[in-house]
Structure 1
Amino acid sequence: MNRECDEYPFASTYEGAAQHAKDSSKPKDNYSARPLPKTDNGAAGNILKAFMDRNRILDGFNGKEEVDGYLVTVS
């Protein structure tokens, strides 16, 4: 089975895998990763992109804090 690593919080968020690259005062590698089937990971990425597009989640970092935040609830 072809696998990819997926991360949470999402790499596309300032709390995800890119957090340290956006703000060097934040901890490096402060996220969880898990290997998933490539097709599942791709489908989840498409759903996340649609969510961000539909809800107009923009790059809202003002240099000090995220100003376009949202919460993810897992039930």
Structure 2
Amino acid sequence: MLYAVGGQENSSDTLGHSGYLNAYDPVTSAWFSFADLQQTRHRAGLAVLAGYLYSVGGASPNTDLDIVERYNPERD
């Protein structure tokens, strides 16, 4: 799976930061949506360790973040 986490929304309808967590499965060529992050963010660092996906730092509107969120793909 290839995960896409957070980001900026810059369309004509929306301007802001997102907490989206989506994944692409290259075997089936399908996208999936999962539970949102607790904190909206962009420019976060991502890592996978022991089966968990970690979102580290990044920025949210008007501030840099010093938090880490851990996501368990088996439990969403």
TM-score normalised by the chain length of structure 1? 0.28
Structure number, greater radius of gyration: 1
Higher helix share: 1
Higher strand share: 2
